[in-house]
Every structure is written in structure tokens, then in C-alpha cells.
Structure 1
């Protein structure tokens, strides 16, 4: 595993994407940073972190995805890899808030952002960004956030976490062809608030601000959230179409 350590950068994802466009990088090259000034999450949300306290990393993954229809498979692998390592560290009550937030109890402790690039030769190169709240303890004005340190009242080794997570990613990628059905089942079982009636906000411009009740049933093969509605129909939603209220 080639590891590039940075003190500060605007975005580890942007840095790794730029580097991979200029050089032929080793698969699973990792970039970490102590401070990220322009970290981002799903839909362009800003991701902020106390300097030196948290895990900020991006990983290059090449040779796994071969078409747009497979994009969400990588989300499954990355989410489960992070969850598995955290379980081994005895982090309690872990779940995945669709599509890519890592939760402990009802608090967000991490987020994943995967960006895929189609190369001129037809291959797909993915940059997997992971932000994990590790040793940060101050979450003023962030009532839905927490960290490993707060939850377990202990400090954690960030460098060790990097190695453990990347090795778990490699293992699951190798096993994907034989165990993809098991991985999907495991992902479904880890979905935050799955099977529980809860409110959602409709983000569709035609119905902006309208709330509705629904029950999460699962996720489609291309990553849409499947929700059972009050009329007993099941609808599928993309990330930009709804917001989970909890």
C-alpha cells in the first residue's frame, strides 16, 4: 500500500484525482491529511474536521468497476469494510445511513464519498474518500455528530485505522464475485432505521418541503432507496430527491 501523508490539503479526493490523471499510480494508493480545508460530502455538503483529530483519507481503486450499473457495488464494499473494522474495535450499535454515512447509535461518525472517472481506454478509476471522526470531542452546533473517542471514552490510532480499513477493502473486493449476494444482504441488514416508520422530506422541486411518512425497505441495484409509502406502494428515490428526518 503506497501511502502519501499530507499536513494540509483542500481535498484528499481532489488531490488523488489530479495525481492519478498525471501519473500511473499503484492500485490502492492512499492519501491522508491532518487538515482538509475543502472537504465535501454527498451533494456538495461541506465536511469539517478538527485539525489532527480525525481520519481523512482517499483511496484509489482501479479494475473493480466496469460499467455505470456497477457503481453502487463499490459503495457496498467500502461501507461494510469500515463497519467491520469498527466492529472489531468494539464501536457499538453501528449502521449505514443511506447512502454512505456511518452511524453509531443515532450519531454520524463518518462519511464516504466515491467519485468515479471513465478513462479514455474505457476503464473506470474510483477515488474513495472517507472522513471518520476519531479523536475529536467538540461537536458544538453539530447535534447529530459524534466520534469514536466520545462514544468509547478512549483515544484511537488513526494510522492503524488506515491500514486496517484498506486491507479490509482489498479482501472484500477479492471476495465480491463469490459473495456479492451475502454482501448486499449484510448491507441491507445494516441500514439505519430500516423497517421503522419515519418522516422524509421531499426535495423534488415540484413538491419541495413536503414531508411524508415511509418505511425503508432496502436499496435497488443502482443505489436508489426503496421506501414503502402510506398507500402500500414502494417508491425508489435518488440522493437528491429526499432527505431523511431523524
Structure 2
């Protein structure tokens, strides 16, 4: 089967591209839920991610009603996340016993069938992509395959984004710690050279940086490597 014959390959390819080039995770997932409504038979979609406590939070939905249904305490999204398997409900008229609160609410919003797809990573599920239908019945095999493919691709994209953000925050923290060490060392050097207290040495460093439009860390580094010699401040 060629890529042109499959309804979801183009969406998957574009989704991957968005995860690579767009730093707005919520915007990318919002694009995904909107794109899902272009699948044959789908009237709305929503996507939830699990927080650290394992609670599903809706992060994107193609409509307000889809958002509301996705965040209910029961329903296909909750069952899908708990089991790690796709949940299919081809007729919500027959689901009152299974979801006594969800099924009637969904029907009131015009939903007649629903499919929920797990967002899998090795040994865990991180969220759920739900597709809503306004007529009873199941999606085609190709559409179901596309739904799971999009959910799996989204899971990898979310994990990659979160890892990148974690690494960025770690780099920023390490950078801040390194800068603080350099500044403290420069304060000590100045205190010894100029016969000042540490607080006064810091004021000398900061004052020079401000007057010359330089970063405090760069000034401190220059003091340490000897490329900058600061004079003793005049007595007050």
C-alpha cells in the first residue's frame, strides 16, 4: 500500500514535522485534534495527557463539547488509559450500564459512537486520543489504524518535547550555578587584591558591569583570568 493510498500517512508526516519545528506543544496537539476531524466519520476529537498522579488532563479538543466529554470522571478515555488498550463504543445507546453518566451526556451533545486510543510508550501509557462520531457505527479499519498511528506518534512527540524541556531547564540551572561560582571566586580575588570586604567587592564587580554594559559573569571571568584589573573604589 502506498502512502498516497492511506488516509493517515500525510497527517502523521506533518505531525512529526510539527513536533520537530514547533516548540508550542499545546498548539501542535491542538492542530492534531483539528486534523483528526478530517478523518471519514469523525465529528470531533480530544486529547488528554496524564499528570504525575495519573490523572488525565485535557490539553486539546476540536470543540467545547469534546473537551467536556473528555474530562469526565468516567468514559472511554478513562477506560483506555487504565487498560492501555483501544476502547470502541459503536453505539452509545447501548452504553448506559457501562457509563451511566457519560453515555447520556455524550448523546445530548450529539455523539453516537466513540473510539479512544492509548498514547503508548514502553511500559506505560501517557495519554488518550478520543475520536467522536455523530452517527452510530465503527470507523473503517484504515481510520482506526490511522487513529492509533496518530496517538502513538503524538506520544513520542510529547515525550521528546518534555525531555528537551527538562534538558533545557537542567542546562539553565547548571549555567546559573556555574555563574554563581565564578562570581563568588571573583569576589574573593578582588577582596584580596583591593583590601575590600566581599560585599564591597561584589559592588565593584556589579558597578563595572553596569557602567560598561557587560554581563556580570563575563566581568567576573575576566577578573579571574587577569584580563581585567579593576581599581580600588574611592573612599566614601
Structure that is richer in helix per residue: 2
